[in-house]
Amino acid sequence: MIEARGLARTFTGGHAAVEAVRGVDLSVAPGEIVGFLGPNGAGKTTTLRMLTTLLAPTAGTASVAGCDLRTDPAGVRRGIGYVAQGGGTDPGVPAAEELDLQARLYGVPDRAARIAALCARLDLEGLGPRPAGALSGGQRRRLDIALGLVHRPPLLFLDEPTAGLDPQSRGNLWDHIRGMRDRDGTTVFLTTHYLDEADALCDRLLIIDRGRIVAEGTPAGLKRRVAGDVVTLELADAAGCEPARKALSEQPGVREAAVTGTSVRLTVEDGEKALMPLIRALDGAGVELASLNLARPTLDDVFFTVTGRTLRDAA
Ligand SMILES: Nc1ncnc2c1ncn2[C@@H]1O[C@H](COP(=O)(O)OP(=O)(O)OP(=O)(O)O)[C@@H](O)[C@H]1O
């Protein structure tokens, strides 16, 4: 659905050129919900604006919804829906009018039926007469999404879809986004800087930092592959730390072992599988264990592993 190679954009015009996106390769398959995750200023919106034909790349090529970005931008626009950060509705215009105008713009043949179906899907029924400015934050986002979907695009781009929404409205919007994929097979490419959103909603993630993709995979796969599980063993006596570190670091699946105070912190491939052999190894080395903790990594740990910063520090 999306194939991009070496996509780049440098902004000139200020006193210094800004390399906002520095050669991004990405592939998105039909029916996927792909999250583009990164701190503020990482290059998410710039990439999205290039993929949606709103901004010309300074380098690279891309095929989006089956059309070439450079040679057939009109074809790309027909095949995609785009919901900008904060949406694009006029606060004074009734929701029904916005939807009707959008449907006319795209020449949708069965306008009334299409709008009714979308309103039913996105829980907007009965809200048509209300101006967008009189809708709740969640309702306005759902209206933005309905506007993006009026012409039945197979691919929908969402820029920070849940920014500024309360937790309940965010969860509700996630359900709607999943529903569009599950019922209609809509492919969704969204940007976010929320770790929980990336984790809960997306099938696959691309993590971008300073204009470059630094990691990609499923949320679970990334956490396992990039960060590993963390096992912390608290020892009864600091004297046991060094023999423990040596014995434990020789165990299969142990990637790193570090000592702080009376504890040994291990990064392991599969924490649950590793626990029993680790305890046996400690026993074998004659070291007494006081307590033990297994922690699954977060996407923030993944970001830290690949960039040396946390997402929050980087934002
Ligand atoms: N029109 C522009 N002119 C100059 N620099 C720009 C322009 N648009 C974006 N930039 C810069 O390019 C970089 C990437 O910006 P971009 O908006 O793509 O980041 P982002 O990851 O979407 O951030 P956010 O999460 O804050 O929306 C930033 O340093 C930004 O200041």
Q: Which contiguous run of DSSP H or E holds residue 44?
A: helix 44-51
Cβ contact 290:235 at 8 Å: yes
Q: How far is the CA of 274 from the centre of ligand 1 (A)?
A: 43
User: pLDDT value at position 7?
Assistant: 97
Over residues 263-303, the pLDDT tens digits come to: 998 989 888 888 999 999 999 999 999 999 998 888 888 88
Evaluated on CA atoms 172, 173, 177, 180, the torsion sign reads positive
Over residues 165-185, the pLDDT tens digits come to: 888 888 888 998 999 899 989
**Residue 309 clears pLDDT 80, i.e. is over it:** no
Q: How far is the CA of 45 from the centre of ligand 1 (A)?
A: 7
Over residues 239-261, the pLDDT tens digits come to: 999 999 999 999 998 988 888 88
**Residue 315 clears pLDDT 90, i.e. is over it:** no
User: pLDDT value at position 314?
Assistant: 67
**Residue 192 clears pLDDT 80, i.e. is over it:** yes
Mutation test of ligand 1: which of 15, 45, 189 has the most ligand atoms closer than 8 Å to its C-beta? 45
Give ligand 1 pocket residues (Cβ under 6 A). Answer: 11, 18, 20, 38, 40-46, 193
User: pLDDT value at position 234?
Assistant: 95
Q: How far is the CA of 54 from the centre of ligand 1 (A)?
A: 14
Report how far apart, in Å, the C-alpha atoms of 255 and of each of 217, 224, 274 are: 20, 12, 11
User: pLDDT value at position 297?
Assistant: 83
Q: How far is the CA of 259 from the centre of ligand 1 (A)?
A: 41
User: pLDDT value at position 281?
Assistant: 94
Q: How far is the CA of 12 from the centre of ligand 1 (A)?
A: 12
Over residues 145-159, the pLDDT tens digits come to: 999 999 999 999 999
Residue ranges of domains in the chain: 2-223, 229-296
Over residues 4-43, the pLDDT tens digits come to: 999 999 999 777 899 999 999 999 999 999 999 988 889 9
- pTM for the complete prediction? 0.83
User: pLDDT value at position 19?
Assistant: 94
Q: How far is the CA of 6 from the centre of ligand 1 (A)?
A: 18
Over residues 95-121, the pLDDT tens digits come to: 999 999 999 999 999 999 999 999 998
Mutation test of ligand 1: which of 15, 44, 160 has the most ligand atoms closer than 8 Å to its C-beta? 44
Cβ contact 264:279 at 8 Å: no
Which amino acid appears at position 58 of this protein? Answer: T
Q: How far is the CA of 125 from the centre of ligand 1 (A)?
A: 36
Cβ contact 206:47 at 8 Å: no
Over residues 161-170, the pLDDT tens digits come to: 988 888 888 8
User: pLDDT value at position 79?
Assistant: 94
Which amino acid appears at position 209 of this protein? Answer: D
Q: How far is the CA of 20 from the centre of ligand 1 (A)?
A: 6
User: pLDDT value at position 140?
Assistant: 93
- CATH code, 229-296: 3.30.70.100
* Mean pLDDT along residues 212-223: 91
Mutation test of ligand 1: which of 7, 10, 11 has the most ligand atoms closer than 8 Å to its C-beta? 11
Q: Which CATH class is domain 2-223?
A: alpha beta
* Mean pLDDT along residues 208-223: 92
Relative to the CA of 42, which ligand 1 atom is closest?
21
For the chain, percent of residues with pLDDT exceeding 70:
98
Burial classification of residue 190, based on how many CB atoms lie within 10 Å of its CB (0-12 exposed, 13-18 middle, 19 or more buried)? buried
Q: Residues 250, 253, 256, CA angle at the centre, nearest 5°?
A: 65
Neighbours of 310 (CB within 10 A): 14
Arithmetic mean of pLDDT over the chain: 91
Q: ipTM value of the model? A: 0.96
pLDDT band at 310 (very low <50, low <70, confident <90, very high): confident
Mutation test of ligand 1: which of 12, 19, 46, 83 has the most ligand atoms closer than 8 Å to its C-beta? 46
Q: Determine the distance from the C-alpha atom of residue 16 to the mean position of all C-alpha atoms in its chain, rounded to a whole number.
A: 30
Residue nearest to atom 10 of ligand 1 (CA): 20
Nearest to 80 by CA among 2, 181, 138, 184: 2
